[in-house]
Homo-oligomer: A and B are copies of this chain.
Amino acid sequence: MGQTIGDIATALGLEAVGDLSLVIRRPALPGEAGAEDLALAMEKKYARTLSGTAARAAVLWPEADWQDLGLEAAIFVPRPRYAMAGLTQAFAPPSHLPTAIHPTAVIDPTADLPPDAAVGPYAVIGPDVRIGQGARIDAHVSIAAGTRIGPGAVLNAGVRIGPRVTIGTRFVAQANAVIGADGFSHVTPERSAVEAAKETGATRDAVQTTAFVRIASLGSVTIGDDVEVGAGSTIDRGTVTETRIGHGSKIDNLVQIGHNVQVGEACLLCGQCGIAGSTTLGDRVVLGGQVGLADHLKIGSDVLIAASSGVGTNIPPGSIFMGTPAAKREVFVQQVTLTRRLPWLFEAVERLQKAVSKDETNG
Protein backbone atom coordinates (compact mmCIF):
# COMPACT_ATOMS: atom_id res chain seq x y z
CA MET A 1 0.00 0.00 0.00
CA GLY A 2 3.03 2.29 0.10
CA GLN A 3 3.56 5.16 -2.32
CA THR A 4 6.63 7.21 -3.11
CA ILE A 5 6.89 10.88 -2.22
CA GLY A 6 7.45 11.62 -5.88
CA ASP A 7 4.30 9.81 -7.01
CA ILE A 8 2.15 11.47 -4.36
CA ALA A 9 3.42 14.94 -5.23
CA THR A 10 2.88 14.36 -8.93
CA ALA A 11 -0.63 13.02 -8.41
CA LEU A 12 -1.56 16.04 -6.32
CA GLY A 13 0.27 18.61 -8.44
CA LEU A 14 2.46 19.67 -5.54
CA GLU A 15 6.16 20.48 -5.21
CA ALA A 16 8.37 17.83 -3.58
CA VAL A 17 12.02 17.92 -2.49
CA GLY A 18 14.60 15.42 -1.19
CA ASP A 19 14.47 11.65 -1.69
CA LEU A 20 11.48 11.36 -4.01
CA SER A 21 11.79 7.55 -4.00
CA LEU A 22 11.08 7.33 -0.26
CA VAL A 23 8.04 5.06 0.27
CA ILE A 24 5.46 6.04 2.85
CA ARG A 25 2.45 4.06 4.00
CA ARG A 26 -0.02 6.63 5.28
CA PRO A 27 -0.39 10.23 6.39
CA ALA A 28 -0.26 10.86 10.14
CA LEU A 29 -0.62 13.69 12.63
CA PRO A 30 2.77 15.38 13.27
CA GLY A 31 2.94 14.03 16.83
CA GLU A 32 2.03 10.48 15.85
CA ALA A 33 4.17 10.08 12.72
CA GLY A 34 6.52 7.08 12.50
CA ALA A 35 9.34 6.31 10.08
CA GLU A 36 6.99 5.08 7.36
CA ASP A 37 4.42 7.85 7.74
CA LEU A 38 3.94 11.14 5.97
CA ALA A 39 3.73 13.70 8.77
CA LEU A 40 1.07 16.36 8.19
CA ALA A 41 2.90 19.44 9.46
CA MET A 42 1.32 22.01 7.22
CA GLU A 43 1.62 24.92 9.59
CA LYS A 44 4.73 26.38 11.20
CA LYS A 45 3.37 25.65 14.70
CA TYR A 46 3.95 21.92 14.12
CA ALA A 47 7.71 22.32 13.61
CA ARG A 48 8.62 21.49 17.20
CA THR A 49 6.17 18.54 17.43
CA LEU A 50 7.62 17.11 14.25
CA SER A 51 11.22 17.25 15.39
CA GLY A 52 10.47 14.84 18.24
CA THR A 53 9.26 12.04 15.97
CA ALA A 54 10.79 9.38 13.75
CA ALA A 55 9.16 10.90 10.67
CA ARG A 56 11.39 10.94 7.59
CA ALA A 57 8.92 12.72 5.31
CA ALA A 58 6.36 15.43 5.85
CA VAL A 59 3.91 17.74 4.16
CA LEU A 60 5.11 21.24 5.04
CA TRP A 61 4.14 24.88 4.78
CA PRO A 62 5.68 26.65 1.77
CA GLU A 63 8.73 28.32 3.34
CA ALA A 64 9.69 25.44 5.69
CA ASP A 65 13.35 24.38 5.96
CA TRP A 66 12.80 20.63 5.51
CA GLN A 67 16.44 19.68 6.03
CA ASP A 68 16.63 21.62 9.26
CA LEU A 69 13.59 19.63 10.43
CA GLY A 70 15.62 16.45 9.97
CA LEU A 71 13.55 15.15 7.05
CA GLU A 72 14.68 13.11 4.05
CA ALA A 73 11.87 14.33 1.84
CA ALA A 74 9.06 16.86 1.91
CA ILE A 75 6.01 18.00 -0.02
CA PHE A 76 5.00 21.65 0.09
CA VAL A 77 1.36 22.77 0.15
CA PRO A 78 0.15 26.31 -0.40
CA ARG A 79 -3.39 25.57 0.90
CA PRO A 80 -3.30 22.91 3.63
CA ARG A 81 -7.01 22.13 3.97
CA TYR A 82 -7.44 21.63 0.26
CA ALA A 83 -4.32 19.47 0.06
CA MET A 84 -5.92 17.20 2.66
CA ALA A 85 -8.60 16.23 0.16
CA GLY A 86 -6.05 14.88 -2.32
CA LEU A 87 -3.79 13.38 0.34
CA THR A 88 -6.55 11.47 2.09
CA GLN A 89 -7.99 10.24 -1.19
CA ALA A 90 -4.53 9.05 -2.28
CA PHE A 91 -4.32 6.87 0.82
CA ALA A 92 -7.98 5.87 1.14
CA PRO A 93 -8.31 2.23 2.19
CA PRO A 94 -10.27 -0.18 -0.02
CA SER A 95 -14.00 0.49 0.13
CA HIS A 96 -16.20 -1.70 2.32
CA LEU A 97 -19.12 -1.23 -0.09
CA PRO A 98 -20.49 -4.12 -2.12
CA THR A 99 -19.03 -4.88 -5.55
CA ALA A 100 -21.84 -6.97 -7.02
CA ILE A 101 -25.52 -7.69 -6.57
CA HIS A 102 -25.93 -9.96 -3.56
CA PRO A 103 -28.34 -12.85 -4.17
CA THR A 104 -30.49 -11.81 -1.20
CA ALA A 105 -31.23 -8.34 -2.59
CA VAL A 106 -34.95 -8.03 -3.38
CA ILE A 107 -35.17 -6.06 -6.62
CA ASP A 108 -38.59 -5.51 -8.17
CA PRO A 109 -38.70 -6.81 -11.76
CA THR A 110 -39.80 -3.34 -12.95
CA ALA A 111 -36.77 -1.64 -11.37
CA ASP A 112 -34.06 -0.55 -13.82
CA LEU A 113 -30.53 -1.09 -12.53
CA PRO A 114 -27.35 -0.61 -14.58
CA PRO A 115 -25.20 -3.65 -15.42
CA ASP A 116 -22.49 -2.50 -13.00
CA ALA A 117 -24.74 -1.87 -10.02
CA ALA A 118 -23.56 -3.26 -6.68
CA VAL A 119 -26.29 -4.05 -4.16
CA GLY A 120 -25.59 -5.45 -0.69
CA PRO A 121 -27.35 -8.19 1.26
CA TYR A 122 -31.01 -7.70 2.06
CA ALA A 123 -31.35 -4.40 0.22
CA VAL A 124 -34.88 -3.84 -1.13
CA ILE A 125 -35.52 -1.93 -4.36
CA GLY A 126 -39.14 -1.24 -5.23
CA PRO A 127 -41.11 -1.07 -8.47
CA ASP A 128 -40.31 1.49 -11.17
CA VAL A 129 -37.05 2.56 -9.51
CA ARG A 130 -34.29 3.70 -11.89
CA ILE A 131 -30.67 3.83 -10.81
CA GLY A 132 -27.70 5.18 -12.78
CA GLN A 133 -24.35 3.61 -13.56
CA GLY A 134 -21.84 2.77 -10.89
CA ALA A 135 -24.25 2.76 -7.96
CA ARG A 136 -23.04 1.12 -4.76
CA ILE A 137 -25.94 0.28 -2.47
CA ASP A 138 -25.04 -1.25 0.89
CA ALA A 139 -26.85 -3.77 3.07
CA HIS A 140 -30.39 -3.11 4.30
CA VAL A 141 -31.00 -0.08 2.10
CA SER A 142 -34.61 0.34 0.95
CA ILE A 143 -35.71 2.39 -2.06
CA ALA A 144 -39.44 2.88 -2.54
CA ALA A 145 -41.49 2.92 -5.74
CA GLY A 146 -40.83 5.39 -8.52
CA THR A 147 -37.54 6.82 -7.25
CA ARG A 148 -34.79 7.91 -9.69
CA ILE A 149 -31.13 8.09 -8.70
CA GLY A 150 -28.38 9.37 -11.02
CA PRO A 151 -25.02 7.75 -11.77
CA GLY A 152 -22.34 7.22 -9.15
CA ALA A 153 -24.57 6.98 -6.08
CA VAL A 154 -23.29 5.64 -2.77
CA LEU A 155 -26.02 4.58 -0.33
CA ASN A 156 -24.66 3.30 2.95
CA ALA A 157 -26.31 0.66 5.11
CA GLY A 158 -29.86 1.25 6.31
CA VAL A 159 -30.55 4.30 4.15
CA ARG A 160 -34.29 4.78 3.48
CA ILE A 161 -35.40 6.46 0.29
CA GLY A 162 -39.13 7.06 0.02
CA PRO A 163 -41.37 7.03 -3.03
CA ARG A 164 -40.93 9.22 -6.13
CA VAL A 165 -37.68 10.85 -4.97
CA THR A 166 -35.44 12.28 -7.72
CA ILE A 167 -31.70 12.44 -7.13
CA GLY A 168 -28.85 13.67 -9.37
CA THR A 169 -25.36 12.31 -9.96
CA ARG A 170 -22.72 11.29 -7.42
CA PHE A 171 -25.17 11.26 -4.51
CA VAL A 172 -23.84 10.06 -1.14
CA ALA A 173 -26.08 9.06 1.76
CA GLN A 174 -24.49 8.00 5.04
CA ALA A 175 -25.96 5.14 7.08
CA ASN A 176 -29.59 5.31 8.26
CA ALA A 177 -30.36 8.61 6.49
CA VAL A 178 -34.08 8.95 5.61
CA ILE A 179 -35.09 10.76 2.45
CA GLY A 180 -38.73 11.17 1.56
CA ALA A 181 -40.68 10.60 4.77
CA ASP A 182 -44.16 12.14 5.13
CA GLY A 183 -44.17 15.83 6.03
CA PHE A 184 -45.20 16.81 9.57
CA SER A 185 -48.40 18.60 8.72
CA HIS A 186 -51.46 18.07 10.89
CA VAL A 187 -54.46 20.37 11.01
CA THR A 188 -57.51 20.74 13.19
CA PRO A 189 -61.03 21.50 11.93
CA GLU A 190 -61.10 24.60 14.08
CA ARG A 191 -58.59 27.08 15.50
CA SER A 192 -55.55 25.30 16.96
CA ALA A 193 -53.38 26.29 19.91
CA VAL A 194 -50.65 27.68 17.66
CA GLU A 195 -53.13 29.72 15.65
CA ALA A 196 -54.79 31.03 18.81
CA ALA A 197 -51.42 32.02 20.27
CA LYS A 198 -50.66 34.03 17.13
CA GLU A 199 -54.11 35.60 16.84
CA THR A 200 -55.22 36.27 20.40
CA GLY A 201 -52.05 35.61 22.39
CA ALA A 202 -53.63 32.78 24.40
CA THR A 203 -53.57 29.07 23.68
CA ARG A 204 -56.77 28.76 25.68
CA ASP A 205 -58.64 30.52 22.86
CA ALA A 206 -58.11 27.45 20.71
CA VAL A 207 -60.96 25.02 20.17
CA GLN A 208 -59.83 22.07 22.26
CA THR A 209 -59.65 19.03 20.07
CA THR A 210 -57.69 15.91 19.54
CA ALA A 211 -58.90 15.61 15.98
CA PHE A 212 -55.78 16.35 13.97
CA VAL A 213 -56.09 15.47 10.31
CA ARG A 214 -53.03 14.79 8.20
CA ILE A 215 -52.17 16.90 5.16
CA ALA A 216 -50.78 14.27 2.80
CA SER A 217 -47.45 14.71 1.04
CA LEU A 218 -48.25 14.62 -2.68
CA GLY A 219 -44.87 16.04 -3.55
CA SER A 220 -41.60 14.26 -3.03
CA VAL A 221 -37.93 15.26 -2.73
CA THR A 222 -35.71 16.51 -5.59
CA ILE A 223 -31.97 16.47 -4.99
CA GLY A 224 -29.35 17.92 -7.35
CA ASP A 225 -25.90 16.63 -8.30
CA ASP A 226 -23.02 16.12 -5.86
CA VAL A 227 -25.18 16.22 -2.76
CA GLU A 228 -24.31 14.36 0.44
CA VAL A 229 -26.70 13.56 3.29
CA GLY A 230 -25.28 12.56 6.68
CA ALA A 231 -26.00 9.63 8.97
CA GLY A 232 -29.46 9.63 10.48
CA SER A 233 -30.51 12.86 8.74
CA THR A 234 -34.12 13.19 7.60
CA ILE A 235 -35.64 15.01 4.63
CA ASP A 236 -39.44 15.11 4.31
CA ARG A 237 -41.47 15.11 1.11
CA GLY A 238 -43.26 18.26 -0.06
CA THR A 239 -46.99 18.83 0.18
CA VAL A 240 -47.98 19.73 -3.39
CA THR A 241 -44.54 20.78 -4.60
CA GLU A 242 -41.11 19.21 -4.05
CA THR A 243 -38.71 19.57 -1.15
CA ARG A 244 -35.51 20.56 -2.98
CA ILE A 245 -31.76 20.31 -2.26
CA GLY A 246 -29.58 22.16 -4.79
CA HIS A 247 -26.42 20.97 -6.54
CA GLY A 248 -23.34 20.57 -4.42
CA SER A 249 -25.00 21.03 -1.04
CA LYS A 250 -23.60 18.96 1.83
CA ILE A 251 -25.69 17.91 4.81
CA ASP A 252 -24.13 16.59 8.02
CA ASN A 253 -25.51 14.02 10.50
CA LEU A 254 -28.88 14.19 12.27
CA VAL A 255 -30.07 17.19 10.27
CA GLN A 256 -33.84 17.64 9.85
CA ILE A 257 -35.27 19.22 6.70
CA GLY A 258 -39.03 19.76 6.73
CA HIS A 259 -41.57 19.54 3.93
CA ASN A 260 -41.41 22.08 1.09
CA VAL A 261 -38.01 23.39 2.18
CA GLN A 262 -35.86 24.70 -0.67
CA VAL A 263 -32.10 24.51 -0.12
CA GLY A 264 -29.98 26.26 -2.76
CA GLU A 265 -26.66 25.18 -4.26
CA ALA A 266 -23.38 24.61 -2.41
CA CYS A 267 -24.92 25.02 1.04
CA LEU A 268 -23.29 23.46 4.10
CA LEU A 269 -25.72 22.30 6.79
CA CYS A 270 -23.79 21.22 9.89
CA GLY A 271 -24.73 18.56 12.41
CA GLN A 272 -28.16 18.57 14.05
CA CYS A 273 -29.39 21.73 12.38
CA GLY A 274 -33.06 21.84 11.49
CA ILE A 275 -35.13 23.66 8.89
CA ALA A 276 -38.89 23.87 9.42
CA GLY A 277 -41.45 23.55 6.65
CA SER A 278 -41.45 25.79 3.55
CA THR A 279 -38.33 27.77 4.45
CA THR A 280 -36.10 28.74 1.51
CA LEU A 281 -32.30 28.99 1.49
CA GLY A 282 -30.28 30.71 -1.24
CA ASP A 283 -26.94 29.44 -2.50
CA ARG A 284 -23.77 28.95 -0.44
CA VAL A 285 -25.64 29.27 2.87
CA VAL A 286 -23.78 27.84 5.87
CA LEU A 287 -25.75 26.70 8.92
CA GLY A 288 -23.58 25.91 11.96
CA GLY A 289 -24.28 22.97 14.21
CA GLN A 290 -27.70 22.83 15.92
CA VAL A 291 -28.98 25.93 14.11
CA GLY A 292 -32.77 26.04 13.92
CA LEU A 293 -34.74 27.87 11.24
CA ALA A 294 -38.46 28.50 11.74
CA ASP A 295 -40.96 27.77 8.98
CA HIS A 296 -41.74 29.92 5.93
CA LEU A 297 -38.52 31.99 6.16
CA LYS A 298 -36.37 33.34 3.33
CA ILE A 299 -32.63 33.06 3.94
CA GLY A 300 -30.56 34.82 1.28
CA SER A 301 -27.49 33.55 -0.54
CA ASP A 302 -24.09 33.71 1.15
CA VAL A 303 -25.64 33.80 4.61
CA LEU A 304 -23.68 32.28 7.47
CA ILE A 305 -25.54 31.41 10.67
CA ALA A 306 -23.36 30.58 13.65
CA ALA A 307 -23.78 27.33 15.58
CA SER A 308 -26.55 27.13 18.22
CA SER A 309 -28.54 30.02 16.70
CA GLY A 310 -32.33 30.07 16.47
CA VAL A 311 -33.73 32.04 13.54
CA GLY A 312 -37.29 33.37 13.37
CA THR A 313 -36.95 36.06 10.72
CA ASN A 314 -35.88 36.41 7.10
CA ILE A 315 -32.18 37.10 6.57
CA PRO A 316 -30.82 39.23 3.71
CA PRO A 317 -28.07 37.88 1.42
CA GLY A 318 -24.46 38.06 2.57
CA SER A 319 -25.30 38.38 6.27
CA ILE A 320 -23.70 36.70 9.25
CA PHE A 321 -26.24 36.01 12.00
CA MET A 322 -25.89 34.68 15.53
CA GLY A 323 -27.86 34.01 18.71
CA THR A 324 -31.48 33.28 19.63
CA PRO A 325 -33.36 35.18 18.40
CA ALA A 326 -30.65 35.52 15.78
CA ALA A 327 -29.23 38.98 15.05
CA LYS A 328 -26.48 40.38 12.83
CA ARG A 329 -23.07 39.38 14.09
CA GLU A 330 -22.03 42.86 15.18
CA VAL A 331 -25.33 43.38 17.02
CA PHE A 332 -25.05 40.01 18.73
CA VAL A 333 -21.43 40.54 19.74
CA GLN A 334 -22.32 43.94 21.19
CA GLN A 335 -25.24 42.44 23.13
CA VAL A 336 -23.02 39.73 24.59
CA THR A 337 -20.35 42.26 25.51
CA LEU A 338 -22.80 44.64 27.17
CA THR A 339 -24.61 41.82 28.96
CA ARG A 340 -21.28 40.83 30.51
CA ARG A 341 -20.86 44.42 31.68
CA LEU A 342 -24.30 44.52 33.35
CA PRO A 343 -22.87 44.11 36.87
CA TRP A 344 -20.89 47.33 36.34
CA LEU A 345 -23.99 49.07 34.97
CA PHE A 346 -26.19 48.14 37.91
CA GLU A 347 -23.51 49.34 40.34
CA ALA A 348 -23.04 52.55 38.39
CA VAL A 349 -26.76 53.30 38.50
CA GLU A 350 -26.92 52.59 42.22
CA ARG A 351 -23.98 54.95 42.80
CA LEU A 352 -25.67 57.58 40.67
CA GLN A 353 -28.89 57.18 42.64
CA LYS A 354 -27.02 57.81 45.87
CA ALA A 355 -25.15 60.77 44.45
CA VAL A 356 -28.29 62.36 43.03
CA SER A 357 -30.28 61.66 46.16
CA LYS A 358 -27.49 63.30 48.22
CA ASP A 359 -27.48 66.25 45.85
CA GLU A 360 -31.21 66.57 46.28
CA THR A 361 -30.90 66.29 50.05
CA ASN A 362 -28.09 68.83 50.06
CA GLY A 363 -29.72 71.06 47.43
Contacts and interface: CB of A to CB of B under 8 A. Distances in A.
Interface of A: 26-29, 32, 40, 79, 81-82, 84-86, 88-89, 91-93, 96, 102, 104, 106, 120-122, 124, 126, 138-140, 142, 144-146, 156-158, 160, 162-164, 172, 174-176, 178, 181-182, 184-190, 193-194, 197, 201-204, 206, 208-218, 226, 228, 230-234, 236, 239-241, 247-248, 250, 252-254, 256, 258, 265-266, 268, 270-272, 274, 276, 283-284, 286, 288-290, 292, 294, 302-304, 307-308, 310, 312, 318-320, 323-325, 327, 329, 331, 334-336, 338-343, 345-346, 348-349, 352-353, 355-356, 359-360, 362-363
A157 B156 contact: no
Contacts of A211: 248
Given A89-B216, A216-B92, A334-B343, A271 B184 contact: yes
Contacts of A226: 210, 212
Contacts of A164: 93
B88 A217 contact: yes
Tell me if A's interface is mostly helix, strand, loop or mixed.
loop
A146 B335 CA distance: 51
B241 A29 contact: yes
A304 B197 contact: yes
Given A102-B106, A140-B158, A356-B359, 14 more contacts: A28-B241, A85-B216, A92-B218, A142-B158, A158-B158, A158-B176, A174-B182, A175-B178, A178-B232, A193-B284, A194-B268, A231-B236, A256-B289, A345-B345
